[in-house]
Structure 1
Amino acid sequence: MVSMKWKWSIVIFNLVMLAFVSCSKEGETESPLPNDPKEGVILLPLVIHVVHNGHEIGEETNLSIEQIERQIEILNEDFRRKEGTKGFNDHPDGGDAMIEFVLAKRTPEGLPTNGINRIDTTKIAEPLLGHSFNDYAKIGYWDPTQYINVWIAPLPESFECILSGQATGPETDLPGTEFLSLPGPGDAEGIIVNWKSFGESDTNCHTKYGRTLTHEMGHYLGLLHTWGASDCENNDYCDDTPAVDKPVFGSQPFLGCKGETVMMGNYMNWSHDEVMNIFTKDQIARMHYVLENHEGRKALQSSPALD
């Protein structure tokens, strides 16, 4: 997975005054009220901007409805730890995040939609010059307080095993927030996923089972890579992820900072999709803190796009 590979800054910070909101087994964070009280689940709306180069639906970068819908299923299987799916685990530190994602049902103008916004780059006045959040926002961007903007990027096939995705993070008072890719004033926010890594695909790379979006959504909701800033003492600020001070790739376990086996299956590694299957309880608590305390992320829960 590639999120902070594209935009990464290292900042030294003071943890002392922020400790009370960190992921910790000793102190729990308050979760927001569910917007589906019957189920106790937080629902968040997505708009999928399919950026393509004039192809028919289902061809090349203009992905089919079925592949997009399957990707959302995978996202929910992972966040809900659903039994009988690749997103299930029975690890004692694993949990059901009680967060689900739905394709938007209304456009910003209030019109019905299936949550998929197809953008033909051959028919837009201003060409797509780059692959940054601001570049994509120029051709398709819905209010980020009402929608999670996800762009499917038409990157060349030569990038399929190199760049899989990136996400902007939320600015909060949680420790380590500065290690996320935080948008500046006026910058767009959202998630970009290489079309070769979106949903289940026949790519020969390690991203073939749709876990790129799960990983990037973790960043969007405030999670760091498990190695954080490559510091054994203060890595991802979640006590139930074994400390590690270097990026975690592949599928073979190894020993981390304290001689503990690294949690290869954690969604916030760059592990192979086939072994990913866990958000820990502390990671879930951190995401819930963001959903309660970040103005934009909290607003998503009452978006008219959910109606």
Structure 2
Amino acid sequence: MKKLLFGALMLSFLSACNSDNVSNQTEGSENTPAISGTALQRGCASEEIRQAALKNSSELRQKYSEIEARTERFENDMKLGKVLSDGTVEIPVVVNVLYRTSAENVSDARIAEQIAVLNADYAGTNTDVSKIPSEFQGVKAGDVKVRFRLANVVRKSTTKTSWSTNDAMKKASTGGIDATSPSNYLNIWTVGNMGQILGYATFPESSGLWNDGVVIASPYFGKTGASSPFNLGRTATHEVGHYLNLRHIWGDANCGNDLVADTPTQTTSNAGKPSYPLYNTCSGVQRSVMFMNYMDYVDDAAMFMFSAGQKTRMQSVVASSGARSGLRIN
């Protein structure tokens, strides 16, 4: 069983950051995942950005430790029946659209489409949920009990041709759009181009800060007009997972720890559309990996589940005592 070890984790945060776009060395992989017919692979900078932020801020490190300790207590209390879910939480969403071209100015219809994808994926009613292998049926999350409601759309024209992960899109003074009350709203920014990065998000220790929220490159936002193979709205599903305290399923390390007991340990990220079963070997143990999890790097069409353990982690941060409890008051 994967266990939370604060010392080892904090040492990893204080070490040099590893880019999410660089493949890790694998301990052992018996199947090579098939790459779809495109050179583009999913790139998410969330963990890299988080490591840098934690390294530079003792306050964030303290908040991180408190959140993980609270999450561990919540998980244990859930197992013992000492705490019940607070019921379904509806998160109000503000979409901030920064656009240079008409294609980047994502339509209201496409925004509604993206909200619908989030609601289906987090409710476990996505149409491809039937593809979950029988091996993982017993640990599927089902309804995470988190819903999303569009509260507002803010649009701003820009002359910028590309954006980086320096959060410039989140400040009016640097050409972006200021967040709307980030303690109480999930802010999502769409921008035209971030190179190989599809999106990134802040984690719960950043709750309420000016830069708190999710960024998605407009070609991968929503479905209609989005770029294949990331045209089913799953980039938002993945990034909102980070926002609700999920790590990448491989733990951003060779045979790493994502702090979730029911997701099999895997050597590294998977890409494209792997064939099931896909086996990895970590610490001499061969496992079938859960590459179809939303927190892996596969194509949108190949990801369609959260695990029960991931559900508990997310419920912990949106609970009335959680780090993102402010989202509950709207």
Change (3 A) 1:6 1:238: closer
Change (3 A) 1:155 1:20: closer
Aligned positions of 1:130-145 closer than 5 A: 130-132=163-165, 134-139=167-172, 140=177, 141-145=179-183
1:290 maps to which of 298, 311, 317: 317
Q: Which residue of 2 aligns with 1:170?
A: 204
Tell whether 2:66 aligns with 1:21. no
Deviation at 1:3, TM superposition (A): 3.5
1:197 maps to which of 216, 220, 228: 220
Per the alignment, in what secondary structure is the counterpart of residue 116 of structure 1?
A: strand
**Separation of aligned partners in 1, 2:286 and 2:153:** 46
Per the alignment, in what secondary structure is the counterpart of residue 46 of structure 2?
A: coil
**Separation of aligned partners in 2, 1:72 and 1:136:** 21
Q: Which residue of 1 aligns with 2:153?
A: 116
Q: CA contact under 8 A between 1:71 and 1:210: conserved in structure 2?
A: yes
**Separation of aligned partners in 2, 1:28 and 1:247:** 34
Q: Which residue of 2 aligns with 1:255?
A: 279
Tell whether 2:301 aligns with 1:274. yes
Larger % of helix: which? Answer: 2
Summarize deviations over 1:36-82 as a string: whole Å, max 9, x none: xxxxx2100000001112x4xxx310011111100110111100011
2:86 maps to which of 18, 33, 48: 33
Tell whether 2:238 aligns with 1:215. yes
Q: Which residue of 2 aligns with 1:62?
A: 105
Structure 1 runs of 4+ aligned residues shifted over 6 Å read 10-13
Per the alignment, in what secondary structure is the counterpart of residue 260 of structure 1?
A: strand
TM-score (norm 2): 0.69
Q: Which residue of 1 aligns with 2:138?
A: 92
Change (3 A) 1:189 1:20: closer
Q: CA contact under 8 A between 2:162 and 2:193: conserved in structure 1?
A: no
**Separation of aligned partners in 1, 2:72 and 2:296:** 25
Q: CA contact under 8 A between 2:139 and 2:308: conserved in structure 1?
A: yes
Per the alignment, in what secondary structure is the counterpart of residue 259 of structure 1?
A: strand
**Separation of aligned partners in 2, 1:165 and 1:246:** 19
* 1:102 aligned partner, one-letter code: R
Tell whether 2:57 aligns with 1:9. no
* 2:51 aligned partner, one-letter code: S
**Separation of aligned partners in 2, 1:197 and 1:75:** 14
* 1:241 aligned partner, one-letter code: T
**Separation of aligned partners in 2, 1:211 and 1:199:** 8
* 1:294 aligned partner, one-letter code: G
Deviation at 1:134, TM superposition (A): 3.5
Summarize deviations over 1:169-218 as a string: whole Å, max 9, x none: 012xxxxxxxxxx58x9651110000000011455542111100000000
Q: CA contact under 8 A between 1:42 and 1:98: conserved in structure 2?
A: yes
Summarize deviations over 1:97-150 as a string: whole Å, max 9, x none: 01100001xxxxxxxxxx11111125xxxx799534631221221111121110
**Separation of aligned partners in 1, 2:167 and 2:81:** 36
Alignment: residue pair count:
259
Percent identity, please: 27
Deviation at 1:248, TM superposition (A): 2.3
* 2:91 aligned partner, one-letter code: L
- What is the aligned-residue RMSD (CA, Å)? 3.1
Q: CA contact under 8 A between 1:230 and 1:244: conserved in structure 2?
A: no
Summarize deviations over 1:265-291 as a string: whole Å, max 9, x none: 100001110021111111000001111
Structure 1 runs not aligned, ≥5 long:
35-40, 105-114, 172-181
**Separation of aligned partners in 2, 1:28 and 1:227:** 29
